[in-house]
């Protein structure tokens, strides 16, 4: 290369090892850039909660910076004497800034907490958005500046742009996956340091390379370093730049809508979101690398039709993809990631290939100017991200946003087409778009789990997609983002949800105020209705859930929202912002492996809850034990104990209650004092007819201090561990039950820990022993030992016949054995009457007995139908029979 000047546009350059080294370094720069983006999005998600706001804001800030940086340098490029040296300096500067950012956040954390107390949710979002733009635009500006610099450093050859852009984007696809290893292994801060270290090495390598290439430029320019001729940076007309900016907007609208839709059907774990981003970047990178070298007008017809048409096709194929994922039995997380990722790539590749090919084709068409196109496209993408998250998804939904993006890709893409006949594709496109402009029915998306169900209500915004689905028997489900079933109106599920309020409020000696972190159907809040003189508050981020609780679940929650102050807010922000103190705070059951939710089980979140308790207050976090493997459960218990040293454990059915007193756990005396202030009928109502000792019998002892990792917002563990455990079949309820039984205190220890008085020991011991026998019965049943399970449950019933869990299990066993009862000479009616006598709440037996009496014309049938509707107000058969 010595003795040669930088080739002008159109000249054939010599290809040297230095050329390929710089290409490789710029590709690695793409990797670090997107890794930064993903890690910084994680940072913002801690403020914005479970929503696309963090994604939208991060993408918008990055794209604004990329576009502004590219356009700024493109305008000044003729004045830049050492582009490669500047490229290395910028890369090093970005890395140093990334190392500085965690310190800046730590320094500003106190101010952030103070500000949150002064602002509403959306004012808070505005503040965070402004702060994020200030924090992220600067490094993104430096990243965007690198694109024109590397083009010039490589000789500003028109045909090189596709190679440069493509390899950088392929590196970016790898960068989307890198945080999947960094976050669980090293935490957020450690991940940032690793990526920044890579960035520093890349920048230093560029600087070293610039020392060699700078001499090449000087050899034929004695008076100064070589300056770039302005003719090598052709500018494109404003209309062309605006059209390509519109394509950038459409691309980001499509990416965000696809992230919502595909993340919904593929389950919104951290892994899936990374796969979606990587698949999107992979297609763009390949499209740029393999863009046609020949300038044919037909390509400017084919690209928009392909991009728009295949975007629509993704909507047509969405139900099929969802059904396949529902049926597939993935043997491990890796298999699931590979197979689902491959399906996603096949579905989206035609569109992303077209998006990647556009830039090099236009660059060739205008004989340069790619850096201007890149800048305009990036600025358009920033606008598209904001429009997608704040306008299109809330107004039209994700499917509608895809249709808008596809329309823009088609219409704006045809801007460069000189064929009038190509516009005939538009009416065909509209005809194909109309049927898929709305989200498919849940029965189409999940043909197995939701077979025969129908949509009653669909609400979508930037927070989540909320479905209320009605099953064939009339029962309703609340679905968030499709695969997350928040709650059901099945009578047993109603009992479970109501208990989430009963136990915490019973354990406090005199609760006046209660705060529910999560509203769901409102049924759990309704469990607090029997408690006298109680002020109810609830926090719920999803407007769809609030609307659903008000209307679609009112028959089951008894219109409790009329007696509850509901704040639409993220639980983390609310606890940081509120000045109120509460006697009882209740954390709802949720799916912790989904994106953003595991932070609600972090040390920081538990501390926020403790800060909002009165001196004698209680925080209770509910967990579904079937959602955890042993180690994940231990991580949560360890995190809870770190904040609540006197924490206690209770077991209600298959749900654990982590009870955290602000000061000292009052034990049996607190519950008994609470009941003594009420009339007998109130005591019956607040304990659901089970009595106070049954609830104390569900005590499982204090949380022990153990050594090991905790769930930290900045060093997350659960969201990466749980998906692996779930796909590997490690969410074994039998194992969890064995561990719980092994660690439960003895009866004598429990009496001491709870402070049970001598004259109360018999009642406590019967309840305590019955609970243990019941859990041992469940364990035996899970291992296939049915006969042993039945014997243990019968003993549990003899010990405490007031325990509704035991009564439910006994009734279920008897109901499933009706055929055997007939073989022993007992009529089905008599057998059913025995079951109903044993458990008056057993809906299946009530329904079967009602059918028999209705068929026989027995007058008692109507009484049974009314009793059935009391327990299950939405039972379709019973409702229709009364019309």
Query: pTM of this prediction?
Result: 0.88
Q: Which residue has the higher pLDDT, 243 or 589?
A: 243
**Residue 56 pLDDT grade (very low, low, confident, very high; cuts 50, 70, 90):** confident
| SS3 at position 542 | coil
Q: How many residues does the chain have?
A: 883
Q: Is residue 133 part of a domain?
A: yes
In which region does residue 468 sit, left (phi positive, over 0), alpha (psi from -120 to 50) or beta (all else)?
Answer: beta
Give the mean pLDDT of 333-339.
Answer: 88
With beta carbons less than 8 A apart as the criterion, state whether 655 and 496 touch: yes
The closest of 386, 423, 391, 383 to 407, measured between CA atoms, is 423
Q: Which residue has the higher pLDDT, 79 or 218?
A: 79
The closest of 185, 198, 204, 57 to 131, measured between CA atoms, is 57
Helix (H) or strand (E) holding 701, with range, is strand 699-702
Q: Is residue 479 part of a domain?
A: no
Give the mean pLDDT of 31-42.
Answer: 88
Report the interhelical angle of 804-816 vs 828-838 (nearest 10°).
170
Q: What is the CATH number of the domain that holds 599?
A: 3.40.50.150
Residue 246 has a CB neighbour count (10 Å cut-off) of 21
> Are 15 and 76 within one domain?
yes
Residue 784 CA: distances (Å) to CA of 226, 466, 779? 81, 37, 9
Residue at which a domain ends, from 200, 216, 233: 233
Cα 528 to Cα 25: distance, rounded to the nearest angstrom: 61
**Residue 272 pLDDT grade (very low, low, confident, very high; cuts 50, 70, 90):** confident
Most confident of 233-242, 313-322, 574-583: 313-322
Average pLDDT, the chain: 88
Window from 275-284, 523-532, 706-715, 818-827 with minimum mean pLDDT: 818-827
Q: Which residue has the higher pLDDT, 537 or 185?
A: 537
Most confident of 69-78, 95-104, 535-544: 535-544
Cα 274 to Cα 280: distance, rounded to the nearest angstrom: 10
CB neighbour burial string for 425-452, b if at least 16 within 10 angstroms, e if fewer: beeebeebbeebbebbbbbebbbebbee
> Are 742 and 809 within one domain?
no
> Are 28 and 101 within one domain?
yes
Any bridge partners for residue 454, and if so which? 470
With beta carbons less than 8 A apart as the criterion, state whether 42 and 222 touch: no
Q: What is the CATH number of the domain that holds 86?
A: 1.20.1250
Helix (H) or strand (E) holding 65, with range, is helix 53-76
Give the mean pLDDT of 569-584.
Answer: 90
Q: Which residue has the higher pLDDT, 231 or 687?
A: 687
Cα 733 to Cα 627: distance, rounded to the nearest angstrom: 9
Q: Is residue 105 part of a domain?
A: yes
> What is the percentage of the chain residues whose pLDDT exceeds 70?
91
What pLDDT is recorded for position 722? Answer: 87
Q: Is the dihedral of CA 42, 285, 355, 440 positive or negative?
A: negative
Cα 307 to Cα 350: distance, rounded to the nearest angstrom: 7
With beta carbons less than 8 A apart as the criterion, state whether 159 and 288 touch: no
Q: Is residue 447 part of a domain?
A: no
The closest of 519, 552, 523, 553 to 537, measured between CA atoms, is 519
Residue 747 CA: distances (Å) to CA of 667, 705, 770? 14, 21, 11
Give the mean pLDDT of 343-368.
Answer: 90
What pLDDT is recorded for position 487? Answer: 82
Task: Give the CB-side neighbour count of residue 309, counting CA atoms within 13 A.
Answer: 13
Cα 372 to Cα 602: distance, rounded to the nearest angstrom: 45
Residue 516 CA: distances (Å) to CA of 88, 505, 524? 52, 11, 9
The string of pLDDT tens digits covering residues 290-329 is 888 766 788 889 999 999 999 999 999 999 999 999 898 8
Q: Is residue 752 part of a domain?
A: yes
Residue at which a domain ends, from 777, 794, 814: 814
Residue 268 has pLDDT above 70, yes or no: no
Give the mean pLDDT of 808-829.
Answer: 86
Tell how strand 699-702 and strand 648-652 pair up.
Answer: antiparallel
Residue 390 has pLDDT above 90, yes or no: no
What pLDDT is recorded for position 152? Answer: 85
What are the start-end ranges of the E strands in 531-594? 535-540, 564-568, 582-587
Q: Is residue 476 part of a domain?
A: no
> Are 862 and 874 within one domain?
yes
Residue 486 has pLDDT above 80, yes or no: no
With beta carbons less than 8 A apart as the criterion, state whether 598 and 716 touch: yes
Report the interhelical angle of 53-76 vs 370-387 (nearest 10°).
160
- CB-count burial class (<10 Å; 0-12, 13-18, 19+) for 856: exposed
Give the mean pLDDT of 470-480.
Answer: 93
Give the DSSP letter of residue 389.
Answer: I
> Are 591 and 720 within one domain?
yes
Give the DSSP letter of residue 5.
Answer: P
Q: Is residue 858 part of a domain?
A: yes
The closest of 162, 374, 341 to 263, measured between CA atoms, is 341
Task: Give the CB-side neighbour count of residue 460, counting CA atoms within 13 A.
Answer: 25
Task: Give the CB-side neighbour count of residue 671, counting CA atoms within 13 A.
Answer: 23
What are φ and ψ of residue 426, in 5° steps?
Answer: -65, -50
Question: Residue holding tokens 């779930």?
Answer: 726
With beta carbons less than 8 A apart as the criterion, state whether 522 and 560 touch: yes
> Are 715 and 775 within one domain?
no
Residue at which a domain ends, from 706, 723, 756: 756
What pLDDT is recorded for position 176? Answer: 92
- At 787, list the tokens: 């006969």
With beta carbons less than 8 A apart as the criterion, state whether 56 and 256 touch: yes
Cα 270 to Cα 610: distance, rounded to the nearest angstrom: 28
What pLDDT is recorded for position 5? Answer: 43
What pLDDT is recorded for position 845? Answer: 93
> Are 732 and 840 within one domain?
no
What are the start-end ranges of the E strands in 423-495? 454-460, 465-470, 476-480, 484-488
Q: Is residue 194 part of a domain?
A: yes
The closest of 607, 741, 754 to 670, measured between CA atoms, is 754
Q: Which residue has the higher pLDDT, 402 or 80?
A: 402
> Are 844 and 808 within one domain?
no
What pLDDT is recorded for position 51? Answer: 58
Residue 825 has pLDDT above 90, yes or no: no
Domain of residue 771, residue span: 757-814
What pLDDT is recorded for position 52? Answer: 65
Q: Is the dihedral of CA 241, 243, 244, 250 positive or negative?
A: positive
> Are 194 and 275 within one domain?
no
**Residue 7 pLDDT grade (very low, low, confident, very high; cuts 50, 70, 90):** very low
Residue 213 has pLDDT above 80, yes or no: no
> Are 771 and 824 within one domain?
no
Window from 657-661, 772-776, 784-788 with minimum mean pLDDT: 784-788
Any bridge partners for residue 486, and if so which? none
**Residue 48 pLDDT grade (very low, low, confident, very high; cuts 50, 70, 90):** low
- At 37, list the tokens: 């983006």
Give the mean pLDDT of 522-537.
Answer: 96
Give the mean pLDDT of 475-483.
Answer: 88
Give the mean pLDDT of 533-555.
Answer: 95
| SS3 at position 878 | helix
Q: How many domains does the chain have?
A: 5
Tell how strand 564-568 and strand 535-540 pair up.
Answer: parallel
Q: Which residue has the higher pLDDT, 356 or 9?
A: 356
Question: Residue holding tokens 């502004």?
Answer: 68
**Torsion angle of the four alpha carbons 246, 249, 251, 257, in this order, in degrees rounded to the nearest 10:** -140
Window from 67-76, 392-401, 549-558 with minimum mean pLDDT: 67-76
> Are 773 and 787 within one domain?
yes
> Are 303 and 394 within one domain?
yes
The number of helices, as runs of H, and strands, as runs of E, in the chain is 35, 12
Residue 757 CA: distances (Å) to CA of 616, 647, 751, 754? 22, 22, 8, 9
Give the mean pLDDT of 549-557.
Answer: 95
Give the mean pLDDT of 858-872.
Answer: 92
**Residue 55 pLDDT grade (very low, low, confident, very high; cuts 50, 70, 90):** confident
Residue 694 has a CB neighbour count (10 Å cut-off) of 25
With beta carbons less than 8 A apart as the criterion, state whether 381 and 64 touch: no
Give the mean pLDDT of 259-270.
Answer: 81
What pLDDT is recorded for position 116? Answer: 65
């Amino acid at each position: 290369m010595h003795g040669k000047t930088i080739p002008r546009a159109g000249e054939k350059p010599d290809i040297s090892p230095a050329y390929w080294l710089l290409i490789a370094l710029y590709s690695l720069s793409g990797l670090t850039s997107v890794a930064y983006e993903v890690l910084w999005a994680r940072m913002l998600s801690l403020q914005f909660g479970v929503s696309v706001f963090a994604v939208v804001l991060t993408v918008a800030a990055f794209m604004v910076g990329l576009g502004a940086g590219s356009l700024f340098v493109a305008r000044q490029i003729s004045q830049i004497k050492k582009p490669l040296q500047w490229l290395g300096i910028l890369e090093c500067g970005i890395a140093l800034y990334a190392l500085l950012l965690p310190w800046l956040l730590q320094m500003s954390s106190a101010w952030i907490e103070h500000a949150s107390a002064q602002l509403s949710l959306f004012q808070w979002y505005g503040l965070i958005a402004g702060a994020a733009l200030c924090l992220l635009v600067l490094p993104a500006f430096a990243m965007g500046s690198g694109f024109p610099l590397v083009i010039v450093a490589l000789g500003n050859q028109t045909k090189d742009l596709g190679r440069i852009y493509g390899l950088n984007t392929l590196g970016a696809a790898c960068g989307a996956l890198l945080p999947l290893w960094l976050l669980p292994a090293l935490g957020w801060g450690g991940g940032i340091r690793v990526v920044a270290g890579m960035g520093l090495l890349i920048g230093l390598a560029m600087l070293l390379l610039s020392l060699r290439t700078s001499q090449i430029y000087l050899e034929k320019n004695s008076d100064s370093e070589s300056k770039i001729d302005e003719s090598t940076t052709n500018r494109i007309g404003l209309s062309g730049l605006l059209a390509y900016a519109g394509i950038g907007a459409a691309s980001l609208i499509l990416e965000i809508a696809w992230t919502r839709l595909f993340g919904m059907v593929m389950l919104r774990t951290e892994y899936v979101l990374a796969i979606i981003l990587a698949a999107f970047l992979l297609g763009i990178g390949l499209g740029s690398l393999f863009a046609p070298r020949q300038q044919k007008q037909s390509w400017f017809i084919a690209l928009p039709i392909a991009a728009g048409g295949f975007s629509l096709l993704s909507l047509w194929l969405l139900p099929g993809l969802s059904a396949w994922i529902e049926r597939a039995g993935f043997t491990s997380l890796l298999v699931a990631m590979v197979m689902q990722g491959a399906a996603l790539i096949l579905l989206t590749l035609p569109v992303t290939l077209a998006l990647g090919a556009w830039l090099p084709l236009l660059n060739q068409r205008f004989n340069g100017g790619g850096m201007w196109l890149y800048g305009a496209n990036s600025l358009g993408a920033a606008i598209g991200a904001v429009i997608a998250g704040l306008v299109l998804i809330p107004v039209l939904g994700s499917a509608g946003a895809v249709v808008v993006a596809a329309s823009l890709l088609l219409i704006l893409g045809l801007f460069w087409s000189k064929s009038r006949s190509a516009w005939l594709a538009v009416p065909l496109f509209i005809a194909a778009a109309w049927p898929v402009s709305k989200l498919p029915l849940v029965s189409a998306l999940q043909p197995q789990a939701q077979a025969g169900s129908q949509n009653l209500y669909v609400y979508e915004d930037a927070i989540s997609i909320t479905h209320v689905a009605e099953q064939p028997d009339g029962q309703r489900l609340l679905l968030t983002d499709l695969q997350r079933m928040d709650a059901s109106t099945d009578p047993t599920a109603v009992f479970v949800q109501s208990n989430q309020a009963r136990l915490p409020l019973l354990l406090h000696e005199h609760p006046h105020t209660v705060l529910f972190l999560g509203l769901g159907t409102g049924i759990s809040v309704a469990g607090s209705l029997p408690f006298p003189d109680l002020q109810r508050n609830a926090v719920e981020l999803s407007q769809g859930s609030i609307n659903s609780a008000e209307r679609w679940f009112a028959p089951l929650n008894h219109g409790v929202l009329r007696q509850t102050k509901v704040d639409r807010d993220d639980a983390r922000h609310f606890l940081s912002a509120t000045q109120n103190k509460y006697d009882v705070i209740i954390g709802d059951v949720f799916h912790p492996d989904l994106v953003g939710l595991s932070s609600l089980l972090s040390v920081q979140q538990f501390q926020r809850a403790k800060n909002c308790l009165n001196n004698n207050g209680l925080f209770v976090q509910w967990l579904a034990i079937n959602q955890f493997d042993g180690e994940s459960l231990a991580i949560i218990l360890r995190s809870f104990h770190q904040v609540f040293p006197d924490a206690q454990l209770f077991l209600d059915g298959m749900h654990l209650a982590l009870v955290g007193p602000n000061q000292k756990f009052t034990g049996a005396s607190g519950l008994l004092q609470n009941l003594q202030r009420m009339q007998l009928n109130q005591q019956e109502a607040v304990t659901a007819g089970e009595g106070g000792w049954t609830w104390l019998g569900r005590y499982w002892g204090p949380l022990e201090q153990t050594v090991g990792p905790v769930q930290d917002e900045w060093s997350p563990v659960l969201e990466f561990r749980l998906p692996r455990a779930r796909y590997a079949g490690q969410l074994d309820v039998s194992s969890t039950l064995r561990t719980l039984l092994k660690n439960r205190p003895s009866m004598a220890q429990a009496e001491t820990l709870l402070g049970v008085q001598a004259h109360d020991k018999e009642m406590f011991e019967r309840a305590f022993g019955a609970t243990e026998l019941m859990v041992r019965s469940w364990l035996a049943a899970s291992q296939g030992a049915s006969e042993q399970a039945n014997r243990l449950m019968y003993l549990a019933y003899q010990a405490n016949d007031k325990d509704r869990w035991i009564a439910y299990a006994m009734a279920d066993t008897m109901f499933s054995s009706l055929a055997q009862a007939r073989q022993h000479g007992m009529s089905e009616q008599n057998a059913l009457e025995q079951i109903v006598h044993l458990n008056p709440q057993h809906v299946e037996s009530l329904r079967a007995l009602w059918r028999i009496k209705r068929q026989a014309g027995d007058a008692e049938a109507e009484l049974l139908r009314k009793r059935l509707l009391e327990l299950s107000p939405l039972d379709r058969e019973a409702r229709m029979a009364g019309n």
